[in-house]
Structure 1
Amino acid sequence: MGRFISAAVLREMAKVDKTIVLDEDSVLTPSAKDLAKELGISICKGREEIVGRSVIVKQAQESAEPVILNEDLKKAVQKILGEVLKPACENPKATHVKGENVVIQPFLEAPPGQNVGLVDVITAREGNLCSGFMTFDHSNLPWFLNYDEVDYIIEGEFVLEVEGKVFRAKAGDVVYIPKGSQVVFSSPTFCKVFYATYPANWADFCE
């Protein structure tokens, strides 16, 4: 299977050049294709144009001679891919977090008037996924996930709206949310949720 190119990777590539040439086996995610159209990015695999405006770097239909790509551009793209795709934590380590030491803080990114709490207990300093706790007290939080997330409901009623669907979860339930989802987290009462996200540096991927 080829390498998946996400919207985050594509956005970094576009900082170098709006015309991007990918390996033949590369696969763009749906959000990456949407981003290409939004930003006017041209993407091609050899002779094939897949999204965007007219491709400049392309083999001539009447010519069998291959196009020689700019070596500096290739190196820049490889460097960006290496940075974006590298593990969040270079040296993961076993970690024990005592519940008595966990203090949930107000989540400053929540809309005004919304009582939302959050704390990360495992971060990119310890591992390649992040985990922590969220609380919602008669509150809601619109959010875009540019990362994968699993939520385990500890107490109360947790409501998730995603792609026109509404999930109502109670204590003991598990919810998975795929990367690229526009969601609304909420609770009509009070709820506490344990979450795990991948990659660990989830905040770096928020838009």
Structure 2
Amino acid sequence: MKKVVCAKDVETLIKQGKSTLYVDANTILTPSAKDAAKLADVEIVVGAPQQRACEHDSTPASSCDGAISSDLIYSALKAMYERGMLDAFLKDLTRKGFTSEAVGGGKIVRGNSIEMEPFETGTAGAKACSQEVIGKGDGRIQSGFFEIDHSRFEQDFACEANCHLLEGTVNITINGQTVKAETGDVFYIPAGAKVVWDAAGKARLFYSRFPQSKG
């Protein structure tokens, strides 16, 4: 039977003055446990701890409700403050991944400030990242950057989009038809399309997507 570790277990670990959580193949970490460990800077290590002859594993049996208690949050923030990590943590919470300025009711995004974030492809081993720089709060058009790194994966498009390939080459299949796009090419993807991206190298593109109006 697998052992379930949740936020309360992490909280107990912190109260015991420990900063390492040991797990194995039979351990299930709940999302709340992962969040709690990250918040408290608790290291998750796969494998058994090196124990002395008289020591025993004091990790308590799980009693999980999926929530992170206020005591845990306080303990985590206090520990981060004492280690001089709180300022960096708070700064990271407010980080957008890019720098922008309002201009005449519009917006300019500084290209050299953009930090790409991992994109979940749904395909094991496939690597991609993205960063949306014009979002819902800016207008009806959402735009950003998308990168594919030596990968092939499928994607369903809920909205229509225009894409401009900035770097590299990519084979793109739209509803069963494949074309090779090269640097500088622009292509349109209709709403509801089934798309397959296939990049033998690294490809970077800029996209603008248009959510479908309701009603």
TM-score, with normalisation over the residues of structure 1? 0.50
Larger radius of gyration: 2
* Larger relative contact order (CA 8 Å, sep ≥ 6): 1
TM-score, with normalisation over the residues of structure 2? 0.48
